[in-house]
Structure 1
Amino acid sequence: MLVAALAALLAVQGAAALQATTTTDIPRWCGKPYESGSPNSIPSGWLDAPEPLATQSLYVQVEPRYNIYVSSEKTGSFIVDAALSQYHGQPYHQDIQVPGLASQLFTDLYFTITVESTGQVLVANAVTVNTTDNLFDFDISLLEPRFDAYDIKLYGLSLDGLQVYTATTQLYYLPDKLTGSVTKIDNLNGGLLFKNNATNFEFVPFFAFGFYTNYGGYLELSLENVKAYYDLGYTAIHPIPSFSANLTTILDYLDELNLLFQYDMRGTYTNLTSVAEQVTMVKDYSSLLVYYTADEPDGNQDPLNSTSLAYDTITKLDKYHPIGLALNCQNYYFEDYSAGADYLMEDAYPIGINATFSKKWDTPCNVTYGDCGCDNCVGELQDVSNRLDDFALYQEYLGQWPKPRWAVPQSFDGEEYWSRDPTVNETWVMNQLAVNHGAKSIMLWTYPTTDVLAAANSQQSKVLANSPALDFVTGAKPKAIPIKGNDLLDVSYWTVGKQIMVSVVNLDYASTSSAVTIPLPFWASSIASSPWGSIEWDLSGNTLTVQGLDALATSLVILNV
């Protein structure tokens, strides 16, 4: 069976000749020449905002709540968005005229969601215009579990029937998998759900918090090294290839510990035969969380279709685990490289860099030239959140359903780019700042790190990756609270049930003795707990206040509403 599968995949491999059009004999990173003496040039591949549409438009989208369902689940859900958009959608006219009735406003879209091949109606309902994240349940057990996707169509009408809107998606309803593991993505909030024997094969929310970890020179040396990492309390590990002959011994031990791993195919992901062989080897491990194909393909200017070819190869063999990759550039062929992933990782490393001049290459750095270790960064903590925000914005430009974003914060120095390690407080700020801006997992680069940073990240992992914080960061989307007059306070909140978790990150390197006030866009009755940080907040209705704030302070506070 494997031989036949490989033969089919080899036919796809012939398409791998599509190269990034910017590849030349001049060494480049993110399309930019970076060696002294190289001519300056403007990189291609920049993604700009689309031209605004001529008329107001309604952009209707439909997506399954989860990227996959399995046959043990009996209820499915669709998410329906009906947002007014300046970039995407079909013309929207607010006034409608229903025969026999007075002129009305077009406020509700009436729709059906059907299986295209059979016309079977799964949902018939209505949604308010200019709303998003509307959930509609259906009986998924009416469908037959299979490995091929069901093509789904939403057909919507205004009340007068004159304005028509359509949207399509795919629904995966797979036979259940009772060996190994299953991981799925929550398309509403971006988090992961995971099941294996340790969860009694029930899906549980999961937040990966751990490190890219050296396989050669560390993990391969002894199981004691694996256990030492596990004992720090991290929930996930990312072994960095290349791998040696004892890989299965290490992976077997990860199964024993239930330490979930992100399986890395960097260096081999463009060899589709190798990809197929590796997937076949690891797909039934109970500790397999996700696959990772390309490491900074945009910086390296890998073939533009390389990530998609690897994605197609993996999903032919395993539809039960999502696929991710890390993008290093701020904006370089984002659409092409991101197409080959279910989730996207950013790895902006701002600590200890000179953002304008490269000591390593003796050249300046700007938007068209140079490599300073962090593409188009300014050397501030906000480079991390800015990159996450950029990736979200690009997906809006493309009209895509948003893929989850993960962060790869810095925990290293060297290579003539980074003059120092982050401090403990800088580490905590980068991690929590990423979560404030929508990161749904954190995998730092790289382990082994210093003992101080290993311990600091261990502390934060035990909070963010476990309840109660876990319930908020996986169960909702963060909403920002702008602080008027203080751009160095980054505040977000998550609402789950009758509680709200507020996250406060102070980006200021100087402490203040003055009172700091957080105006809340809601009323709260009491403080339930403070799972992270030493700030003692006072709550009064819709205001959090503290007298004085330490430099680079971080805080999580849970409120009852």
Structure 2
Amino acid sequence: MFSRLASALTLVLSLVDGQFNNPPGVDIWCGKAYRDTNASFNPGGWFEEPAKSETPLIDFKIKPRTNLYLEDDTVSSFIVDAPMNWYRGHALPDSNTSIPSSHSSEIMLEIKAGNQSLCLNKTSIALGSMDNEIPFDVSSLAVSREPHNITIVGTLAGHMSSTFTATTRLTKLPLRNDNGTVTRLDNLYGGLSVRKGLAKQWTSLFPYTYYVQWSLYWNANISTLDDFASMGYNVIHIVPTGDLGNTPFPWDEFQPYLDRAAELGLYFMYDPMSLMEMSLALNCRDFYYADYAAGAEIVLEDVYPISTNASWSTVYNTPCNATYGCCGCDDCEGSFADISTRLDEYASKDSLLGWQKIHWAAPQAFGNETFWTRYPTAAEEVVMNMLSINHAAKGIVIGGVFNWRKVGARAEGQFWCLLSILTMATRGLTLPSRYLER
């Protein structure tokens, strides 16, 4: 669904003449002309590195440990960062021209919600440090549909006139009484945790799922849910297409599936009864990243490099490069490295933009169509999944429309091996540590 939505959005925008840099009547993909009847042009949208400061800056930031709390939560904290960099933040009082090798100076902290102090004890962090966890009493804040505005003021030790200010918002919601779920993000490690129904405890979740078409798999029998769960998947991601055509989705037939999924402990990617995060999959390597990613908490890479010609489009008979062509994998080399490179590049852009996005992966599991000459092997699927996790993906949504009859025909035993390996790999990684290097 993620890649289909992103592709649909790209298609819609391509039909609007002049929406980006494209000349009137020129269809685009990732901003680029791709038909052999059109010429190459500058697609625009490339990421530009911010201007570099002449002096080092303190990037002073605060965020809640989780993106929301419920009214009965008792464990709560803020994450405070004060790294030094050359791109954004507050100048040092002595206007040093280099970042000190030792950050021994302390920053005294004061955290408030309006006029209410949230840290009663004196708190300080080291200049240059990151991921400082500052506990506070969340029960002192009222439940509200509107977020609380949080302000932090830091004072540099030895420079009492040098203060730094940052703001954030904290959401504290009432408990649900409709048996729906609540999902929240861990802003320190990037993992998910869930409270389902009337449960009192948060449960960590590493999402592991597949694009699954309703009329090509699910509607065969409700027992397909049992089969799906037994394979190790924990999230249902239904693609409401298949051979439905213009036929409306059969919601009445769907309700028993919702009930059975709840019994099996399966979660839904887009649960209408859930409070959850916004997610977005990006087909493009470098096309208005900041604009597209701004509205999502979770950003997926959508790289499909297996069995495709990354330099020549076999569908449109054109070359593929930074300004022209569509080969099904934007600006790729056609190797496993495309996955790790894309995840690392997104993380680098996030760092330069000064925000934190959670990244998931969509490993390729389809082929023998359009740009792709064959299906990935089971071994290749293992590599793509594990490479994604090693490069900080906090969730897996396998790209390709799942149909166990077809997958099983390829390599049932090998695929089960893949699932077993992934189960072992993700056990204990529900909240993976992010990379120390920035």
Same fold at TM > 0.5 = yes
Counterpart for residue 41 of structure 1: 41
Amino acid at match of 2:140: L
Structure 1 residue 106: Cα displacement = 6.3
| Equivalent residue for 1:361, pick from 301, 305, 316 | 316
Closer/same/farther in 2, CA of residues 475 and 39 from structure 1, 3 Å limit: closer
Closer/same/farther in 2, CA of residues 126 and 463 from structure 1, 3 Å limit: farther
Closer/same/farther in 2, CA of residues 85 and 406 from structure 1, 3 Å limit: same
Q: Gaps spanning 5+ residues in structure 2: where?
A: 1-15, 97-101, 242-248
Pair 1:67-2:74 in alignment: no
The answer (yes or no) to whether the contact 2:103–2:127 under 8 Å persists in 1 is no
Pair 1:260-2:267 in alignment: yes
Alignment of 1:67-86 (within 5 A): 67-86=67-86
Structure 1 residue 328: Cα displacement = 0.8
Q: Tell me, what secondary structure is at the counterpart of 1:445? A: strand
Amino acid at match of 1:43: P
The answer (yes or no) to whether the contact 2:60–2:166 under 8 Å persists in 1 is yes
Distance 1:20 1:342 in 2: 25
Pair 1:118-2:115 in alignment: yes
Closer/same/farther in 2, CA of residues 158 and 462 from structure 1, 3 Å limit: same
Distance 2:117 2:161 in 1: 24
Structure 1 residue 459: Cα displacement = 4.1
Alignment of 1:437-516 (within 5 A): 437-446=391-400, 447-448=402-403, 450-451=407-408, 452=410, 456=414, 458-462=416-420, 464-465=422-423, 469-478=426-435
Q: How many residues align?
A: 400
Counterpart for residue 234 of structure 2: 235
Q: Tell me, what secondary structure is at the counterpart of 1:155? A: strand
Alignment of 1:171-210 (within 5 A): 171-178=170-177, 179-197=179-197, 200-210=199-209
Counterpart for residue 21 of structure 1: 20
Amino acid at match of 2:389: V
C-alpha offsets along residues 125-149 of structure 1, whole Å, 9 cap, x if unaligned?
A: 1111111111011010011111110
Identity over aligned residues, as a percent? Answer: 31
Distance 1:51 1:453 in 2: 51
Structure 1 residue 93: Cα displacement = 4.1
The answer (yes or no) to whether the contact 1:436–1:478 under 8 Å persists in 2 is no
Distance 1:326 1:32 in 2: 18
TM-score by length of 2: 0.85
TM-score by length of 1: 0.67
Counterpart for residue 143 of structure 1: 141
- Compare relative contact order (CA 8 Å, sep 6+) and give the higher one, 1 or 2: 2
Structure 1 residue 251: Cα displacement = 2.2
Q: Gaps spanning 5+ residues in structure 1: where?
A: 1-16, 97-103, 264-281, 289-319, 481-561
Distance 1:456 1:397 in 2: 41
Distance 1:343 1:469 in 2: 19
| Equivalent residue for 2:250, pick from 244, 254, 279 | 244
Distance 2:169 2:411 in 1: 43
Q: Tell me, what secondary structure is at the counterpart of 1:387? A: helix
The answer (yes or no) to whether the contact 1:93–1:106 under 8 Å persists in 2 is no
Structure with the larger strand share: 1
Distance 2:95 2:287 in 1: 42
Distance 1:459 1:110 in 2: 53
Distance 2:317 2:332 in 1: 18
Closer/same/farther in 2, CA of residues 127 and 436 from structure 1, 3 Å limit: same
Amino acid at match of 1:174: L
Counterpart for residue 277 of structure 1: none
Alignment of 1:291-370 (within 5 A): 320-370=275-325
Structure 1 residue 21: Cα displacement = 3.1
Distance 2:125 2:86 in 1: 20
The answer (yes or no) to whether the contact 2:45–2:287 under 8 Å persists in 1 is yes
C-alpha offsets along residues 89-112 of structure 1, whole Å, 9 cap, x if unaligned?
A: 11124699xxxxxxx986111111
Structure 1 residue 324: Cα displacement = 0.8
Amino acid at match of 2:145: F
Closer/same/farther in 2, CA of residues 458 and 148 from structure 1, 3 Å limit: farther
Counterpart for residue 92 of structure 2: 92
Amino acid at match of 2:220: L
Q: Tell me, what secondary structure is at the counterpart of 2:395? A: strand
Single out whichever of 223-232 and 416-425 deviates more from structure 2: 223-232
Pair 1:383-2:338 in alignment: yes
Counterpart for residue 51 of structure 2: 51
Counterpart for residue 128 of structure 1: 126
Counterpart for residue 220 of structure 1: 219
Distance 1:105 1:347 in 2: 39
Counterpart for residue 536 of structure 1: none
CA-atom RMSD in angstroms? 2.4
Closer/same/farther in 2, CA of residues 457 and 442 from structure 1, 3 Å limit: farther
Q: Tell me, what secondary structure is at the counterpart of 2:296? A: coil
Q: Tell me, what secondary structure is at the counterpart of 2:224? A: helix
Structure 1 residue 54: Cα displacement = 1.9
Q: Tell me, what secondary structure is at the counterpart of 1:331? A: coil
Q: Tell me, what secondary structure is at the counterpart of 1:216? A: coil
